[in-house]
């Protein structure tokens, strides 16, 4: 899928890519080693997406949307739950009884979060935020995903300014680890 456009288009594209990764992992036989590779790609995408939303989308929601603080707090809490599950999944291998359970739990949590964003948060943001700002946020989100961490860090800060300051450094360390291990690489 192509990326680009305003923040809503960008994040919706991410959502469809994550949906496809869930389909891919669940289409493989339980215990198949390829499930680990797909789980790693899924983790990378979810972490990058979450970090970008927390750095740029949710501050805009807080500023422009009525009751934006409550909406953003709920979304950040959803991210924390997903990140804890990703961290637990990171320690499992396909075939271990927890792996399939955690993937199913993760899929349910992410699907609920995506529905909430697409059905509620995105329309509210679209009606309350200037179009030019939505475009600018799309650029900022794309940029943030390039430097974001690729592994779950459940204890890392999830609100500005600390998350914006720390994420690029943590992201660099994660990407070096990924490069050395081959994690997330598609052959």
Q: What is the DSSP letter of 29?
A: P
Question: Which tokens hold the place of 168?
Answer: 């690029």
Helix 68-90, helix 34-52: angle, nearest 10: 160
Q: Which domains does the chain have, with CATH numbers?
A: 7-177 (1.20.120)
Q: Per-residue pLDDT averaged across 94-98, rounded?
A: 90
Cβ contact 15:148 at 8 Å? no
Residues 6+ apart with CB under 8 A from 181: none
pTM of this structure: 0.85
pLDDT higher than 90, residue 187: no
Residues 6+ apart with CB under 8 A from 68: 61, 62
Cβ contact 160:61 at 8 Å? no
Mean pLDDT of the chain: 86
- The residue among 64, 88, 59 whose CA lies nearest residue 75 is 59
Q: Per-residue pLDDT averaged across 142-158, rounded?
A: 74
């Amino acid at each position: 899928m192509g990326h680009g456009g305003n923040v809503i288009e960008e994040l919706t594209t991410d959502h469809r890519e994550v949906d496809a990764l869930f389909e891919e992992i669940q289409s493989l036989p339980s215990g198949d080693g390829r499930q680990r590779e797909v789980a790693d790609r899924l983790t990378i995408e979810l972490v990058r997406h979450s970090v970008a939303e927390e750095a740029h989308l949710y501050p805009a929601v807080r500023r422009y949307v009525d009751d934006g603080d409550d909406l953003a707090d709920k979304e950040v809490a959803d991210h924390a739950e997903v990140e804890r599950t990703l961290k637990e999944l990171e320690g499992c291998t396909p075939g271990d009884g927890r792996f399939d359970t955690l993937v199913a739990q993760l899929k349910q949590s992410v699907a609920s979060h995506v529905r909430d964003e697409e059905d509620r948060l995105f329309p509210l943001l679209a009606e309350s935020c200037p179009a030019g700002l939505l475009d600018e946020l799309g650029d900022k989100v794309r940029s943030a995903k390039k430097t974001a961490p690729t592994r779950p860090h459940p204890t890392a800060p999830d609100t500005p300014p600390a998350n914006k300051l720390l994420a690029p450094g943590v992201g660099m360390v994660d990407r070096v680890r990924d490069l050395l291990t081959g994690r997330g690489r598609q052959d």
